[in-house]
Amino acid sequence: MFKKLKITCDEATTICDKNQYGEATTLELLKLNIHFIRCRICSLYTKQNIKMTKIYKGHSKTCKQVTHCMTTQDKEKLKKALEETSI
């Protein structure tokens, strides 16, 4: 039974990443926590990952506030190109 719960560091960190978005399953979290008992490196990865998530969230907030628009020049070019195509 315990063999089924054993995972590699690659799998553990994948679950940890998934969990940063709240999308890891209960079984996956159980496997992850069992893995932590024997692996300090993955525990450190997880701590740092949580920090990185906070940084990503801050960056996301800033990025989402920006609305991108096409320049008037680009729009004019596009208009001409469309007119030429539709003729």
Q: Where does this chain bind another protein (CB under 8 A)?
A: 7-11, 13-14, 17-18, 20-21, 23, 41, 44-45, 48-49, 51-52, 54-56, 58-60, 62-64, 67-70, 74-75, 78-79, 81-82, 85-86
Considering the complex, state which of residue 1 and residue 38 has its C-beta at the smaller distance from another protein. 38
Place of tokens 């506030």: 65
Q: Shortest approach of another protein to residue 25 CB, angstroms?
A: 12
Q: Shortest approach of another protein to residue 76 CB, angstroms?
A: 8
User: Rg for the chain (alpha carbons), in Å?
Assistant: 23
Within the chain, residue ranges assigned H as helices are 2-5, 9-19, 26-38, 40-64, 72-86
Q: Shortest approach of another protein to residue 2 CB, angstroms?
A: 17
Q: What angle do CA 36, 29, 40 make, to 5 degrees?
A: 15
